[in-house]
């Protein structure tokens, strides 16, 4: 009876994990992307578990995780078919005998038609003006620069849009003013 109780307590002392997997592949027509989503929970945390993803025959670097792998999505071109292979190797089931180490095969079809970009070319009209011929005389050519074209000079090209925002400058200025005001209050309270 004592041996049975000891074996039962050993069996109950081993960790119980549900090894919950969420592996999906779909085509998001609204975003026009093929999406692979992987989320793994309740895996053992005493050692590293391994997640390996193969996309269209190209194996990506393995990802080690303990306990859980937070749900992550990867986006791909939706104009072509994709084949995904998601392999999970649980440290406590290296040969897959318990069903915790497993491989999922998922795929997406091309769900967005490729529309080649259209190029349009616009031709601006050109005007040429010719100056009247000067009579052939002994006058030397003028050394003054030519006058600008009627209507003023050519406009400057617009500045490049770099995506930088002036908001950080404004916020840092407000922060500096606030820090100065706080320092002033501290100094005045000490004097009082």
Contact between 47 and 89 under an 8 Å Cβ cutoff? The reply is: no
Residue among 114, 15, 1, 102 nearest 52 (CA): 102
Residue 99: domain span: 2-108
Domain holding 55: CATH number? 2.60.40
Indicate whether 39 belongs to any domain. yes
pLDDT for residue 172: 85
pLDDT for residue 11: 46
Lowest mean pLDDT of 10-24, 47-61, 107-121, 125-139, name the range: 125-139
pLDDT for residue 110: 87
At residue 179, φ and ψ (nearest 5 deg) are -65, -40
pLDDT for residue 169: 73
Strand-pairing partners, residue 106, are 84
Task: Classify burial at 78, counting beta carbons within 10 Å of its beta carbon; exposed 0-12, middle 13-18, buried 19 or more.
Answer: buried
pLDDT for residue 72: 93
Specify the number of domains making up the chain.
Answer: 1
Under the banding of pLDDT at 50, 70 and 90, the label for residue 173 is confident
| pLDDT, tens digit, 9 for 90 and up, residues 65-76 | 999 999 999 999
Coil, helix or strand at residue 7: helix
Indicate whether 157 belongs to any domain. no
Indicate whether 31 belongs to any domain. yes
Quick count: other Cβ atoms within 10 Å of Cβ 87?
A: 16
Lowest mean pLDDT of 88-102, 113-127, 143-157, name the range: 143-157
């Amino acid at each position: 009876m004592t041996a049975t109780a000891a074996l039962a307590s050993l069996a109950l002392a081993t960790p119980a994990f549900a090894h919950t997997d969420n592996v999906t592949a779909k085509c998001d027509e609204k975003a026009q992307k093929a999406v692979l989503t992987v989320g793994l929970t309740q895996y053992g945390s005493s050692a590293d578990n391994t997640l390996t993803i193969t996309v269209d025959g190209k194996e990506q670097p393995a990802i080690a995780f303990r306990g859980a792998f937070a749900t992550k999505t990867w986006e791909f071109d939706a104009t072509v078919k994709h084949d995904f292979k998601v392999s999970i190797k649980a440290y406590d089931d290296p040969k897959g005998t318990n069903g915790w180490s497993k491989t999922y095969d998922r795929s997406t079809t091309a769900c967005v038609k490729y529309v080649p970009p259209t190029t349009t070319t616009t031709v601006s009209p050109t005007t040429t003006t010719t100056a009247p011929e000067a009579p052939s005389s002994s006058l030397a050519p003028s050394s003054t620069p030519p006058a600008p074209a009627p209507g003023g000079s050519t406009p400057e090209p617009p500045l490049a849009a770099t995506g930088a925002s002036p908001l950080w400058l404004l916020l840092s200025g407000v922060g500096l003013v606030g820090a100065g005001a706080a320092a002033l209050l501290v100094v005045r309270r000490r004097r009082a």
